Amino acid sequence: MSLRSVCVFCGASPGASPVYREAAEALGQHLAERGIRLIYGGGAVGLMGVVADAALNAGGEVIGIIPQSLERAEIGHRNLTCLEVVDGMHARKARMAELSDAFIALPGGLGTLEELFEVWTWGQLGYHAKPLGLLEVNGFYSKLGDFLDHLVAERFVRPQHREMLQIAGNPQNLLDALSEWRPSAAPKWVDRAPV
């Protein structure tokens, strides 16, 4: 799969450890070096601002999508290639998904998890056939990975849907995995995709 644009979900907080910032910087830089456009939530603070700044500093293209109500709270990034202001969170997520070939979650809070799981659910339902990835930083997602495997073992998630989510400890390996990912079962409703 050719990746032209990747959506990154991440925190509007920098987190408790400098390793999260370092991972966001590395991801932004790798995206730019590969000529992959960054699509993200449009904020200038926390890991959101870090990944955007790193991509921009490496010469990359960065498109931010931010709801009008959060533009001030997340301090909409003013130096992006493009900052789109939309009506609300649903419009934000739909627009980010529309523009992206794949999705990556850096460490983040409830919003990051909600965005990841919603777009993953859309893939499970066949609204898209795009891979997802977790950038594993400092053990941040290790327990989540175990729990997801438990969901498969308990037959609440099918193996092919679990396989949509790649997990890697560095940006280069994660981008390689997303580029090489192929759906194991064709989505049923790709022609009716809302994103």
174, part of any domain: yes
Beta strands in the chain (DSSP E): 5-9, 37-40, 62-67, 82-86, 102-105, 132-135, 165-168
For the chain, what is the domain count? 1
CA dihedral 35, 190, 114, 84 (to 10 degrees): 50
195, part of any domain: no
190, part of any domain: no
117, part of any domain: yes
Q: What is the pLDDT of residues 16-28, one digit of tens each?
A: 999 999 999 999 9
123, part of any domain: yes
Whether the predicted model's global pTM rises above the 0.95 cut:
no
Q: What is the pLDDT of residues 121-162, one digit of tens each?
A: 999 898 999 999 999 999 999 899 899 999 999 999 988 888
134, part of any domain: yes
Q: Check which CATH number belongs to the domain holding 50 and give it.
A: 3.40.50.450
21, part of any domain: yes
d(CA 102, CA 3): 7
17, part of any domain: yes
Look up the domain containing 144 and give its range. Answer: 3-178
